[in-house]
Structure 1
């Protein structure tokens, strides 16, 4: 998948030659890679200058000596010397590798002969070593191992012991005795010996532990980690691995990956690694485990390993490679969506500037490639999901993020900034879209579509102002649009779109009331000859409107006429009859405004003339109709009543169905009223009432006008019709208005009783009262009571008396009720009169009883008894009358004397002369502190 720190790609499978070897295949720095490469050395060899003879010749002579001699020691010595000469000279002298097995097979007899004799001039440890080598070369592995064990046991201090232990352990490993091999390798590692040999032993120790099964894999892992520490101790060592060590390192990494994958994956690996700063080779073992999962068809596990490395070592310089490897794993596994997500992770990881700067050039190019791929993907995906608005918006926003990030890291990024702007626009993020379009337009040198990108920004600024250019726009938004168009005009002066944009700005600034800027943009359009006639037309419109807005109505009229001339001369392409009609309407408006200005200045005749000449320019137009209407109003305001009345009536005659006609009636009412023609005003109101859903407000106003004119007949007729509808008072004002109508009818009708009764009942049932309505209601109740009292007095007590008394009782109760109601309404003001009249009712009843006729069928005695009974019946009524008059008399103390109290005193003088029939002198009384009373 990748090469890290200068190492070549490692194979994932353990070589069969290592697992099934039968002979020594361990590198020996001094003696060669195998026993077959070794050269026995029995004699001490001192470093001294070689004789002036070629090593090849010397070797040939020793070789001949070995072949011709029959002495074991001579033959062994010859072999030793051949070995030493080869080592000293560095030349390939003596027997070849193919010849050596046969030569050493012959030498075994010499070795055995020397041992049997028990005498040897050299070192026996070396002899045993050479015998072990000879047995190994001839295929006698057990004999070779036995000789090595003898050497270790007999000569533990021999310098040959470390190598011998290694070969013993190797033999045990080859024989499948992995636990014994483990012990042997550990003994070698803990003892004396060179580091190179211990390094090989450490490597093989790990394999011995691995071969013992999963239970020993934690020990094996620890050993293999030590092996990697030995070969790759520093960051620098990763780039300077010896070729001879590559296979060992490769096998170590591979077996660690195999063990981890067969246990708990990356969790097991991290358990072996432990915490702390990662060693230089840690990325290699993560990478090897991830590769193993990928090759064995477990992409998810491979991805987990890569991501776990990044998670565990977030600042490691190899993280970009691990993140990219996730992309490659998913891609090779046929998982495009997962690969795309992995690309997103890669881009996100190096989105910050500091992180991106830490990437090398190739990694930065890869980042840019992934960012562009993701941006294009999300843009096209969102384009295909426009129906699902939420998803599309999200997709365009993500695309814009990627485009923007990519554009910031490319020198010629105009097209990318424009794509970013388009994506933001599709996502509904107008502000960001504007910034992107402007960057593409003004900050991307040599971008060929810069003007179009700038125009896209202008289009978005236009979205912030109303689509109707004649409507007011937010000042800030319009200022931004103006600044953008100004920048566009200065940057792209020959662009044909500028004039139309400036004409539009003129219209918009006019709508916003900034006439100076409106005129400036209008002049910018009309000054150059290259601007189109349509833009000129728009500019003239703005100029006319500005003059009109500045109340320069005459100048505005001339400007509108010039605009109209452009249309009539056919110099404005695309204009229609409706356009001409609109300009005529504006021209009429200018004239109309001159009329308004004259009216405001009090120049009535001039104003009326302006209003009326509109009809000549645009007969039957709305403006002409309004001019006629305003001419009449101007006369009305100037109090030229009759002229105004004539114009209003003429307007109503000419335009009976116009909306303005509906208000003519009120204006005529006003004019009639102000010109002292109340009856004409009332008649106008009655005519208006006939066309209204609720006519009574108008009829009642007419009734008031009839009242003012003294036309009581028409007034009363309207009152009666209204009261017949049984109106109910809704508030105090409406109650007063209704009671006033009833009072006026009471005062002017020939039979007022029904209106008096209506007043009393209305006041009794009303929730609202005023002093006036209470006073008027008290008068009506009193009048009704007096009328009932007269009826009561007029009823004679004739026989049969009971029937007459019933009639008289009803009249008495009716009169008494009205008097009580009068006092209820009038209070203190009518109490004296009420007391008097109530008392007189009872006195009248007593007198009528006494004067009633005696039944004709009674004799004289019976008649006398009957008369006595009547007196007994009349007496209580006299007493009640006296009591009420006396009560009235008693009011003098608190309320003073009034005529009704005086009349009560007169009656009391007649009914009780002993007490009341005397001269009375009224005088003031001043209470003194000690008056002798």
Structure 2
């Protein structure tokens, strides 16, 4: 190897460059044991060469010439190891310093600083070593530029050494400050180190004592506010630390001095009470807990703070106080909870207080009333939160446990309304009926009948709901409310499948409520439908005739809805007449039967014309087509009428010609009406009746109208 040759020629710096180049050439090779041995040999030779010249500076110059900074850490390590073997501790320490100066941001920089500290201690240079620990904090601590640019992994690695050094530096300063005759600056120095220490591993158990000693240092400096904060952190944030109770109590003591040193405000006193309560809560088994709690109770009494007064009173009531004191504590807790709007806590406290006295006690009745009010308030709050089941249960507790309370009436009414809302129909009905019986003269009782109707309806007891509505309608002084009640009763009777009862109420409605007119006509239309469904066709026809007549005579009161209903009634009357017309058969003697048939035809034609007069398209096309159909039927029936017996062939032929003469005008009239209906397509009207007219024309006048029909038939045939 050329580098060895140059080295043997004592061309040291040149050989160092050559060795560095070898490292550079082999930088990418891994896994071969011979290569690793080669690297170690080169590191050792490089250290020897550097030591023969200017130490770390010579080494750094070779690295700079090669431009391979990544080789610096192992080369510097080798040089330090070389000096340590020679026990040249200060030289070894200087190598670390040179590396840090050359590579201040390198991930190994903290390691070299730590080695520097280690080397100085090993070399029995403690003052320098302590100074280098301080420099480690300055260079790589939480406030350093190095720390701010370091990644998470590097921070984790550096933090261990940082914490160790800060702990040693802080404890050393703290011990110095505790010595007799120490100056303020000694406490300040200890506080500074501890302030940095607690930031390295916040929340870690190792940090707990750091907070406590920082607080002690700050307390010695008279910085009570900061001291209190760190006492509390040590006392409450580290549950596994053995000294936490002492730290927490020290915080209470510090607050005592803090309040005495200033003109304490109400907020200051509240803060101290918070600390007292916190200590008693976190350390209930501590020998100082009960005195602290009693102190807090007195302070809260002076301040009139209800929430904390409740807390302390409840705690005192559960402690080892005598029976009388328990009662007073529970009573205070109940009153405080009431003032705070915390009815659950109030209920518990009232029950506990009542459990300590008898019914003859002067406080028995007031506490019972308080209990009822607390339970009712819980129900109200549950209802506001949408917890309806819970609210209902709570209202019923009032009825069951404190029925003599003034709150009972409201609780029962609210329970009934909630049962309605929750669809607990039997329960709601029971509660409302009992309320109506118990508080008959109460204004709220007047609202219950309508709610009873609702409960009956929702529980599918429609007949009972309807019957209740009928009674309400009869008793109702407001005509409009009575009218609506009857309408609702009709609906409920229909839902109960009791159409005859519905008809009775409808007839009552028609008789009592002529206005509003539109609703009157709707009621009549509904009546005709029900009568028809029950098979009472004659009554249905009479009702339709009455509807048509009433609507026709209404003048300006008529509306599109009334006209539509009247048109529908007229149309159905026409269909009734049509049915009668089609049933009349033409028999011999023809003159007699034709007279009957003609009279039936005139009746249906007249009714259809009445229907046409409404001018409603849906009935206009139907009536027009049906008129055509009537005339066509008349023509067909004439042609298909019974022939007299015993006619000769010639007489029969002449008779048929006479029938054709009779039928022809009807057939022409039918065609004219069908054509009139068909022409509505020009106006964009093509409903089932127009289509039927086209079909009739295709049959009656195929030469003119059957073409499209043929096309349609072909399409159907294809399908």
Q: TM-score range by the shorter chain?
A: 0.3 to 0.5
Task: From the two aligned structures, give the one with the greater helix fraction.
Answer: 2
Q: Normalising by the residue count of structure 2, what TM-score does the alignment of the two structures yield?
A: 0.43
Instruction: Return the index of the structure with the highest Cα Rg.
Output: 1
Q: Normalising by the residue count of structure 1, what TM-score does the alignment of the two structures yield?
A: 0.35
